[in-house]
Amino acid sequence: MPNRFHALVVVENSLVSSAFVDAWLRSGNTVAALWTRDQKSLSSGTVQKVVSLASSVPTLQELVKKHKIPVVRNEPLRNTEESSGLLSGVQADTLITLMTHQIIPGWMIEAFGRRAVNVHPALLPHYKGPKPTLSLLADGQADRYGGITVHRLDTGIDTGAIIGQRKVPAVSGQNVDVWTYRIALAAADLARTDLQAYLKGDLEAVAQVPGSGNYRKCGRLEFSVEAQKTLEDVRRLLSMPAGMTLRAVIDPPIGRRDNFPIHRKISVISAPTGDNPRVTRFAIEMDIRDCRIRLLRKRKALSIFSNPAISIARYRLNQFRRGENQA
């Protein structure tokens, strides 16, 4: 059995994806191709480039260029037939699905067998499904089930046998971007260690108990201030970890726009008035179930101060200082 592996990676752009692929390559493995539904074909915007500098994790775009990895944009894979010839010419021995909502058809999983694996940002069997980190935060369970799992792909949703896990609990008061960075580091560690051992045959995957854990799909309005929420709901929402983009959703919309990014300051104006929401340059007034409130709009001019790179750089500097103090 070879000690180095050649992977087809089905991926969407994220810090976790970048860290995992970088660790995979640094372990001496190669990537046959990156398949993605990303409309920009994994290109990096200014924010991602700055985050890359702050985190020392190269962007996917940098990795593609450095290692000359082919990038293929494809439509949903779930209904693709084996007769399509989709895998023809892809000389990969491992299939990795990474931070993607793509559903892999059964015939493709069978083609790779035990070497078809998925990376899921939660501690399975808990929080199966899309966007588990948001679901964990919404339920207040990020300290309990936050982490990363590598598991075998099967025809269920996140139900395959578990290869390895790292627990990464969200820390009270810590920026959510820092939590994402810590999850990315844990994903890289799994790529270097447990996944390598499993592919070499030195580690066996452990089957999940049927029916264990839970499936959770976080809805759009769970992180939005909207008319059906109470004042208690809104205050809980505004106390979510820093770094999360919170929005006010209004009805009726203004033109084509029905939501606005907001700050975490709230003022109670009165009992519900029955009036439509009022949006000004700096604030939003709206009815919720038990009162009328005023929220401050988040302006683009101030967005630089919420760049995730700032929080990640500060966290890394603090870690470095702790290391010096311990030494």
The pLDDT tens digits for 167-195 are 999 988 889 999 999 999 999 999 999 99
Q: Is the pLDDT of residue 279 over 80?
A: yes
Q: Which two tokens stand for residue 265?
A: 């300051």
Local structure of 12: helix, strand or coil: coil
Catalytic residues: 120
**Alpha-carbon torsion 309, 310, 312, 317, what sign?**
positive
Q: Is the pLDDT of residue 301 over 70?
A: no
High-pLDDT (> 70) share of the chain, %: 96
Residue 234 CA: distances (Å) to CA of 55, 64, 227, 240, 266: 32, 42, 10, 10, 9
- Of 41, 246, 54, 22, residue with least CA distance to 134: 246
- Average pLDDT in the chain: 92
Of the given ranges (41-50, 195-204, 246-255), which has the lowest mean pLDDT? 41-50
The predicted model gives 303-309 an average pLDDT of 69
The predicted model gives 128-144 an average pLDDT of 94
- Of 124, 119, 175, residue with least CA distance to 145: 124
Local structure of 1: helix, strand or coil: coil
What is the pLDDT confidence band of residue 306, given thresholds at 50, 70 and 90?
low
What is the pLDDT confidence band of residue 293, given thresholds at 50, 70 and 90?
very high
Q: What is the model's pLDDT at position 75?
A: 87
Query: What's this model's pTM, rounded to 2 decimal places?
Result: 0.91
Of the given ranges (106-115, 207-216, 219-228), which has the lowest mean pLDDT? 219-228
* 118 class by beta-carbon count within 10 Å (0-12 exposed, 13-18 middle, 19+ buried): buried
Total residues found in the chain within this entry: 327
267 or 325, higher pLDDT: 267
- Of 129, 122, 166, residue with least CA distance to 146: 122
What is the pLDDT confidence band of residue 39, given thresholds at 50, 70 and 90?
confident
Q: Is the pLDDT of residue 289 over 60?
A: yes
What is the pLDDT confidence band of residue 327, given thresholds at 50, 70 and 90?
very low
What is the pLDDT confidence band of residue 323, given thresholds at 50, 70 and 90?
confident
Local structure of 164: helix, strand or coil: strand
Q: What is the model's pLDDT at position 269?
A: 97
- Of 214, 213, 238, residue with least CA distance to 224: 238
Q: Is the pLDDT of residue 51 over 90?
A: yes
What is the pLDDT confidence band of residue 2, given thresholds at 50, 70 and 90?
low
Cis peptide before 169 (omega within 30 of 0): no
The predicted model gives 307-318 an average pLDDT of 91
DSSP letter at 301 equals: G
Q: Across the beta sheet with 224-225, what order do the strands follow? A: 224-225, 247-254, 257-270, 292-297, 283-287, 278-279
Q: Is the pLDDT of residue 44 over 90?
A: no
Q: Is the pLDDT of residue 54 over 70?
A: yes
The predicted model gives 261-275 an average pLDDT of 95
* 211 class by beta-carbon count within 10 Å (0-12 exposed, 13-18 middle, 19+ buried): exposed
- Of 228, 227, 224, residue with least CA distance to 236: 224
239 or 196, higher pLDDT: 196
What is the pLDDT confidence band of residue 3, given thresholds at 50, 70 and 90?
confident
The predicted model gives 139-159 an average pLDDT of 96
Q: Which two tokens stand for residue 224?
A: 């939005």
Backbone φ and ψ of 147, nearest 5°: 160, -155
Q: Is the pLDDT of residue 125 over 60?
A: yes
Residue 167 CA: distances (Å) to CA of 87, 150, 176, 204: 34, 12, 16, 19
Virtual CA dihedral for 268, 269, 274, 278, nearest 10 degrees? -100
**Which residues lie closer than 8 Å to 226 by C-beta, 6 or more apart?**
248, 249, 251, 288
